[in-house]
Every structure is written in structure tokens, then in C-alpha cells.
Amino acid sequence: MVLETSFEPCDFVLFGTKGDLARRKLLPSLYQLEKADLIHQDTKIIGVARDSVTLDEYIAVVKENIEKFGGEALCDETWQRLASKLDYVQIDMKDIDSYNEFKEHVDESRTMVCYLATPPSIYGDICKGLNAAGIIDKSVRVVLEKPIGHDLETSQIINNQVAEFFDESQIYRIDHYLGKETVLNLVALRFANSIFATNWDHNCIDHVQISVAESVGIEGRWGYFDEAGQMRDMVQNHLLQILTLIAMEPPTTLDADSIRDEKLKVLKALRPIDASNVRENTVRGQYISGFVKGQEVPGYLEEEGANERSETETFVALKVEIDNWRWGGVPFYLRTGKRMPNKVSEVVIYFKRQPHNLFKESFSQLPPNKLTIRLQPDEGVEVTVMNKVPGLTTSGNMDLQKSKLNLSFSEAFKDERIADAYEKLLLEVMIGNQALFVRRDEVEAAWKWVDGIFSAWNASNEPPEPYQAGTWGPVASIALLARDDRAWYESRIGKKR
């Protein structure tokens, strides 16, 4: 099947162009797309914010941000091409009347992409403003940032506000992990390789671990983060999306709804965690001061702007069961936290042990095969296998050792630059492919499951467990696996990155 996408000029409108996300991620990504010649020459990029600045001043600010956050020296030719596409409109996004001024800047005869890099609380106002100005039709696409809402109820309110003006086919809900090369590679690995496709269930897999560790703290976003916490900021979206790609049934095609239908089934099959099982299946933590990469860092409650009594979690570990035929009895262990020793995201699939050991002389118990998918950094795929140590012996036995088959992206694809997730997603919105965006029913199924955990935590009235910055979280997270006679895979602990 050929996906229906098109590379045509559009008006790409960046609401919130002066915000943190736009400055650090979206503008540098647009620059990279321009560099790769992936923005149509007639496309216009319109920044929207409430500052009163001239177009020249705006262009200077965009340049400054791309230089600061782009991670490489600016190529003058690329920059000139991008700068020539820029436009700026000053409006108060809550003021419905101001959208008439905005209307003057767009060409209604072509596709308009509205990227809402703003707090979700004003998504509804923006939609109303665009509607009042009479510029919404079927060719308009709207991009929503995560997390959408605070829980199922508030996410439904926001989704309803947007749905009043846009069909689901026009709504692109971002989860930037779905734009990461290595996350996308999960689909390739599973469905393009029979060696994995045929061994991907409870018959062959013992358990799965998904770790997304960050060494940063909350990076000056206390106001936002304290309302959200690590569960809403990372688990409800990124970790559950990774889980669905690992656990879903084969989609019939790569088109958006085939994939999203299968992901949704997984979210609906997650076993609820409630007051009856929350203690044995969850751990939440909050960092106290410590050292990360040799630098002393403050605790969460000492961060700038902090409320000293906050009980917001900065670390979560979960044991997740999927109640379906494929995954019955195979736990998925998830963990994510701020201020961990390294930034490391990886998926480790532990296969079942061999039913009988022929090599007792060498190994009293044969270790299981492991498939490690390094999402970031040092992107790659690694399989741990048992191998005969070469050599002659008189004992008649074979010496075995554990070896690794390692595919390192940086070595295998030396000449390919790994694109940032936002580059991929911005391109997909511009060409009109929804496959890498989250459908409303997925967001709601994820919230429903996460809300159950929050209810149970709230009922338990227990504060998060403290952990020292620069460690792998509270000891209880080790106990979560130890109870099942398992341990977190920590191959990359201690490596400086």
C-alpha cells in the first residue's frame, strides 16, 4: 500500500514561537529540514507570539536560538533560505478579535499547519480565534503538544474544545518519542525480521524492561513540572507509547489507523493498578541533593521556584501486566526518573532460558538471551548470545562465554546524521501523514490507566520515597524486580556520557 502524502507548499504557523519548546527544539528542527531541502521552497513559516517586535527583530531572535540550540555552526546559505520564509504576527492568543490581523498573513488557498507550542489551556482559545476569523477548513492541520490535560477528564475537555473545529483526521497529537529513529526502528526490527517476529510472545519472552533515565533535573520548569510529575510528563505518553510498539499485534499496513488500532488494543489490555495492588506494582520517588557527573546538584525541593512541601514524583517504576493472549505472564517493568547518573533510554527483552542445560561444566545455569535496543544515546541494537570459546581441550567439554552481536548506528550508518525526533515529526505533519501521531482514543486509554494509579497513590497517602540525585532511584525500585527474582539491566551504569 502507498501512503497518501504530498510535498506541497504550506503556511506553517508556530503559535508560541518565543517559548521554550519552540526555541530549543522546533526552530532548530526547521533549520535542519531546510538544510536537507525538505521544506518546500514556497512554504512560509509564521511565528506567533504576544511580543511587539518587528519582523527583522524576530528573524534575529530565531537566528540566535538556532545558533544557541542547533548544536552546530550555522550554514549561511541554509539560514538565508530559511530566513526568507519567516514571518511574524503579534497577537494575544486569548483575544478572539486579534485573529483578523493574523488572517492577513496566511494564504487560505493552501494547507495551513498550526503548531500549538503553548500551554494546552489556550488550545480552545486558539481554535475559536481561527474559527472567528473564518480560516478553518479541511485543509488546516492542528498539532497539539503533550501532555494533553492532567487526567482523563481534563484531556476530554481539551480534546472536545479542539474537536469542535477540527476532525480527528486534521489533528496531530505529538509524542516526540514516536519521531525518534530508534523508537521507529522497533517496528522495523519486529516486523522485518522473522527471527524476532516468530519469537515475540509469552512462549519465548520472559520479561521486558523499559528504562528512560535523564540526568537533568527539571530545567527551570518547576511551575509546569510540579503540576505534572514524572508520571504525567513521561509515563502517560512516552513510556506507554514505547510499550505499545513493543507489545502490539502486527498492523496490516503502515498506515496511521492500522498502527493506532493495534496500539490502542494494548493500552486497553493493561491490567489496572489500583489500591489492591499499587504497593507491589509501583514505586515513586523524589530526588534529594546529590552529585550528577561530579557536579553537586540541589534536591527537587530546593530547585528554583520550589514549594518545599511538594510531594510530586520525579521518579516512577512500574510492573505492568498486559492481559492478552500474547503477553499473559510476561511482566513489563518500566522506570523513568530525573537526576539519574546518565541519560540512557533502552529497552531490554529477556528471552526465556533453555529448557535443558548441556553445558553445566561451563555454566551451572545458562544465562538468557537478551535483546537490547539502545534508544539513546549510542543508538543501536545488541543481542547477547552464548558462544563457544575457540580452542582445543582434552576434557571433552565446551567452554562457553557470553558474547554480544552489536549493531551500532554510528558505525553502521557512518554517513547518516540521526535526525532529531522533532525534525521527523514536523516533516510528517507537513506531508500529512498521521501514523506517528497519537489518536484521541489512545490518549484517553492511557489517561484512564494512569488515573487509576493516581487514585491509588492518593488513597495510600504515602509521600514519594527520597533518592539521592545521581543514583538510579529509590531502593524500592530494585525490590520491585527482586521480588520476582529479577534485576534491572544496568550495563551502562557508571559510563560517563
Ligand X SMILES: NC(=O)C1=CN([C@@H]2O[C@H](COP(=O)(O)OP(=O)(O)OC[C@H]3O[C@@H](n4cnc5c(N)ncnc54)[C@H](OP(=O)(O)O)[C@@H]3O)[C@@H](O)[C@H]2O)C=CC1
In the bound state with ligand LXAUTJHC, the residue whose beta carbon lies nearer, of 213 and 322, is 213
For residues 181-240, which are near ligand LXAUTJHC according to CB under 6 A?
A: 214, 233
Min. distance of Cβ 223 from ligand X in angstroms? 9
SS3 labels along the chain: CCCCCCCCCEEEEEECCCCHHHHHHHHHHHHHHHHCCCCCCCCEEEEEECCCCCHHHHHHHHHHHHHHHCCCCCCHHHHHHHHCCEEEEECCCCCHHHHHHHHCCCCCCCEEEEEECCCHHHHHHHHHHHHHCCCCCCCEEEEECCCCCCCHHHHHHHHHHHHCCCCHHHEEECCHHHHCHHHHHHHHHHHCCHHHHCCCCCCCEEEEEEEEECCCCCCCCHHHHHHHHHHHHHHHHHHHHHHHHHHCCCCCCCCHHHHHHHHHHHHHCECCCCCCCHHHHEEEEEEECEEECCEEECCHHHCCCCCCCCCCCCEEEEEECECCCCCCCCCEEEEEECCCCCCEEEEEEEECCCCCCCCCCCCCCCCCCEEEEEEECCCEEEEEEEEECCCCCCCCCCCEEEEEEEEEHHHHCCCCCCCCHHHHHHHHHHHCCCCCCCCHHHHHHHHHHHHHHHHHHHHHCCCCEEEECCCCCCHHHHHHHHCCCCCCCCCCCCCCC
Select the residue interacting with ligand X from 5, 9, 19, 184 (CB under 6 A).
19
Min. distance of Cβ 18 from ligand X in angstroms? 4
In the bound state with ligand X, the residue whose beta carbon lies nearer, of 141 and 146, is 146
Min. distance of Cβ 146 from ligand LXAUTJHC in angstroms? 7
Partner touching 436 among ligand LXAUTJHC, ligand X, none, CB below 5 to 8 Å by kind: none
In the bound state with ligand LXAUTJHC, the residue whose beta carbon lies nearer, of 146 and 207, is 146
Cis peptide before 464 (omega within 30 of 0): no
Min. distance of Cβ 214 from ligand LXAUTJHC in angstroms? 5
Q: What are phi and psi of 45, to 5 degrees?
A: -115, 115
Select the residue interacting with ligand X from 14, 62, 112, 122 (CB under 6 A).
122
Which residues pair with residue 295 across a beta bridge?
A: 292
How far is residue 365's CA from residue 295's CA, in Å, rounded to a whole number?
A: 41
| 376: three-class secondary structure by DSSP | strand
How far is residue 339's CA from residue 218's CA, in Å, rounded to a whole number?
A: 9
In the bound state with ligand X, the residue whose beta carbon lies nearer, of 233 and 313, is 233
Q: Does 143 bind ligand X (CB under 6 A)?
A: no
Partner touching 93 among ligand X, ligand LXAUTJHC, none, CB below 5 to 8 Å by kind: ligand X
Partner touching 233 among ligand X, ligand LXAUTJHC, none, CB below 5 to 8 Å by kind: ligand LXAUTJHC
Partner touching 214 among ligand LXAUTJHC, ligand X, none, CB below 5 to 8 Å by kind: ligand LXAUTJHC
Q: Does 133 bind ligand X (CB under 6 A)?
A: no
Select the residue interacting with ligand X from 37, 71, 119, 192 (CB under 6 A).
119
Q: Does 145 bind ligand X (CB under 6 A)?
A: yes
Quick check: is 238 catalytic? yes
Question: Which member of 40, 202, 207, 238 is catalytic?
Answer: 238
- The secondary structure of 82-132 as a DSSP string is HHTTEEEEE--TT-GGGHHHHHTTS-TTSEEEEEE-S-GGGHHHHHHHHHH
In the bound state with ligand LXAUTJHC, the residue whose beta carbon lies nearer, of 226 and 233, is 233
Min. distance of Cβ 349 from ligand X in angstroms? 27
Q: Which residues are annotated as a binding site?
A: 50, 146, 176, 180, 214, 233, 338, 343
Q: What does the block give as the cell for 493?
A: 551504569
Q: Does 97 bind ligand X (CB under 6 A)?
A: no
Checking DSSP bridges between strand 44-49 and strand 10-15, what pairing results, if any? parallel
Q: Does 107 bind ligand X (CB under 6 A)?
A: no
Residue nearest to ligand LXAUTJHC (CB): 233
In the bound state with ligand X, the residue whose beta carbon lies nearer, of 23 and 263, is 23
Min. distance of Cβ 92 from ligand X in angstroms? 5
Min. distance of Cβ 420 from ligand LXAUTJHC in angstroms? 8
Min. distance of Cβ 116 from ligand X in angstroms? 7
Nearest to 331 by CA among 249, 263, 271, 242: 271
117-125, 244-252, 289-297, 388-396 -> range binding ligand X (CB under 6 A) = 117-125
Partner touching 118 among ligand LXAUTJHC, ligand X, none, CB below 5 to 8 Å by kind: ligand X
Binding-site size for ligand X (CB under 6 A) equals: 18
Partner touching 298 among ligand LXAUTJHC, ligand X, none, CB below 5 to 8 Å by kind: none
In the bound state with ligand LXAUTJHC, the residue whose beta carbon lies nearer, of 43 and 215, is 215
Binding-site size for ligand LXAUTJHC (CB under 6 A) equals: 2
In the bound state with ligand LXAUTJHC, the residue whose beta carbon lies nearer, of 233 and 423, is 233
Catalytic residues: 238
Which residues of this chain interact with ligand X, rule CB under 6 A? Answer: 16, 18-22, 49-50, 92-94, 117-120, 122, 145-146
Which residues of this chain interact with ligand LXAUTJHC, rule CB under 6 A? Answer: 214, 233
